[in-house]
DNA sequence: CTTATTTCCTAGTTGTTCACTAGGTTTTAT
DNA sequence: ATAAAACCTAGTGAACAACTAGGAAATAAG
C-alpha cells in the first residue's frame, strides 16, 4: 500500500519545476541538490516524465526540464501514474490485466473498485498549481 | 501502490468466515480449497488476524476460525492494517515513524495526508457485513 | 572549436520484500 | 488411539526497490 520513492521524488520534482517556471529550465543537478537525493536516480524519473509528454527537456548547457503544460493542467495523478506504474490497488483493475478467471465469484472486486475510485478522484483532483500554493489547496 | 496478496487473501478469508458464521468455525483447509490458495500461507495470515483479536481460533478436530465480533463491527480497514502492515501511502505518516527531518520544507506532506485520509475513510467505512451482502453495499 | 554542462541511454548491484514451502508440536473431538 | 485441526519457526527463489556506473550525444559560452 506504499508509494515508492519513484512516485514521491517525481512529484516533488514536478513541484519544483512548476515553482521555478519562468526562470528557465531546471537542471537535475539543482533539483537533486535541493531535495537531497541522487541525481542519477532522479534522471530516470525525469526521463519518464519527459517521455510521457509532461515535461519538456532542453539538452546542453543551461538546459534542464520545464513544464510542457500549465501547472493547473497537470494533476498529481498523472505524475504518479507515470512513475509508479498505475495507482490501482489490485492488479486485476489494471488496464492491461484482461479478464480475471475468478471474477464472477469474487466478493472483493467491488470493494477494490471503490477504493480505486476514491484514490483516483483524489489524485486527479489535485494539480501542480494547488501544490505550489498549499495555503489555497483544498486538500489541506 | 499495490495491495499484496496478504491483504487480499486476508480480506477474502475474513469474508468467508463472516458468511459461514453460525455453521461453526471454518477450518483453513476448507477456506484454502474454496479460494484456490495455499493453506500454509493462509495459516500465517489467519494467525495474525487471530493474534490481533479479530478472529477466534478453535484448536483440534472440528476446529477452525470464527469471528470474535459481529460482522458489522469489523471493518475492511482493520483487516488490511493487520496483514498489510498499515495502509498509509508514505512511510512518514506511519505511527512509529517519528519526526521527518524534512518536514518543514516538505511540500507534499499535506497531499499525502489527504490521500491517507480518503483511503482510511473508505476502508474504515466498510464492514464485513457490507461485504457479505454486496447488493446493499454503499461502495458498489 | 574546444570545453563545460546538460540530457539521454543502458546495464549492473545490493538489499529487501513477496509469496510461498517445509517440517514439525500441541490441542481436541470422536 | 487417531485424525484433524491450530500453532510455531525457519528457509527459499524470484521479483522488485533504490540506487550506482559509465558512457554518448547535444548545446551554450568562451
pLDDT per residue, tens digit, chain B (140 aa), is 789 999 999 999 999 999 999 999 999 999 999 999 999 999 999 999 999 999 999 999 999 999 999 999 999 999 999 998 777 888 888 777 766 777 767 889 999 999 999 999 999 999 999 999 866 555 65
Phi and psi at residue A58, to the nearest 5°: -120, 120
Question: Can you give the pLDDT at residue B34?
Answer: 94
Q: Do A118 and B119 touch (CB under 8 A)?
A: yes
Question: Can you give the pLDDT at residue B21?
Answer: 94
For strand D, the positions having any atom within 7 A of a protein Cβ are: 3-10, 17-22, 25-29
Å from B11 (CA) to D5 (C1')?
22
Question: Can you give the pLDDT at residue A31?
Answer: 98
Question: Can you give the pLDDT at residue B137?
Answer: 56
Q: Which of A87, A112, A137 faces B110 most closely, judged by CB atoms?
A: A137
First-to-last CA distance in chain B? 22
Per-residue pLDDT reduced to its tens digit, A29-39: 999 999 999 99
Phi and psi at residue A65, to the nearest 5°: -115, 145
Å from B44 (CA) to D1 (C1')?
30
Q: Which of residues 39-78 of A touch strand D (CB under 7 A)?
A: 40-41, 44, 58-63
Nearest C-alpha of chain B: how many angstroms from A140? 6
Give A4-9's long-range contacts (Cβ < 8 A, gap of 24+): A4/A84, A5/A41, A6/A45, A6/A83, A6/A84, A7/A79, A7/A80, A7/A83, A7/A84, A7/B1, A8/B90, A8/B108, A9/A35, A9/A37, A9/A41, A9/A42, A9/A45, A9/A83
Per-residue pLDDT reduced to its tens digit, A74-92: 999 999 999 987 778 888 7
Q: Do B107 and A76 touch (CB under 8 A)?
A: no
User: Residue B128: its chain A contacts at CB < 8 A?
Assistant: none
Closest Cα partner for A123 from B98, B107, B114, B134?
A: B114
Å from A49 (CA) to D12 (C1')?
37
Is the CB of residue B1 less than 8 Å from the CB of residue A89?
A: yes
Q: How many CB pairs under 8 A join A and B?
A: 103
Q: Do B108 and A12 touch (CB under 8 A)?
A: yes
Question: Can you give the pLDDT at residue A34?
Answer: 94
Question: Can you give the pLDDT at residue B133?
Answer: 83
pTM higher than 0.75: yes
Question: Can you give the pLDDT at residue A40?
Answer: 97
User: Residue B2: its chain A contacts at CB < 8 A?
Assistant: 1, 88-91
Question: What does pLDDT average to in each consecutive run of 10 residues of chain A (140 residues)?
Answer: 93 97 96 96 98 97 97 97 84 73 78 94 97 69
For strand C, the positions having any atom within 7 A of a protein Cβ are: 4-11, 17-23, 26-30
Amino acid at each position: 500500500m506504499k508509494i515508492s520513492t519513484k512516485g514521491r521524488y517525481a512529484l516533488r520534482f514536478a513541484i519544483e519545476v512548476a515553482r521555478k517556471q519562468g526562470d528557465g529550465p531546471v537542471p537535475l543537478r539543482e533539483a537533486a541538490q535541493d531535495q537531497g537525493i541522487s541525481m542519477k536516480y532522479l534522471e530516470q524519473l525525469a526521463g519518464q516524465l519527459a517521455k510521457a509528454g509532461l515535461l519538456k527537456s532542453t539538452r546542453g548547457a543551461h538546459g534542464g526540464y520545464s513544464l510542457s503544460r500549465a501547472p493547473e493542467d497537470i494533476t498529481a495523478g498523472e505524475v504518479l501514474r507515470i512513475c509508479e506504474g498505475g495507482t490501482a490497488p489490485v492488479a486485476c483493475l489494471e488496464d492491461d490485466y484482461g479478464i480475471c478467471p475468478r471474477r464472477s465469484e469474487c466478493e472483493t472486486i467491488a470493494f477494490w473498485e471503490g477504493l480505486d475510485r476514491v484514490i483516483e478522484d483524489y489524485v486527479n483532483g489535485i494539480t501542480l498549481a494547488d501544490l505550489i500554493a498549499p495555503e489555497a489547496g483544498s486538500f489541506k
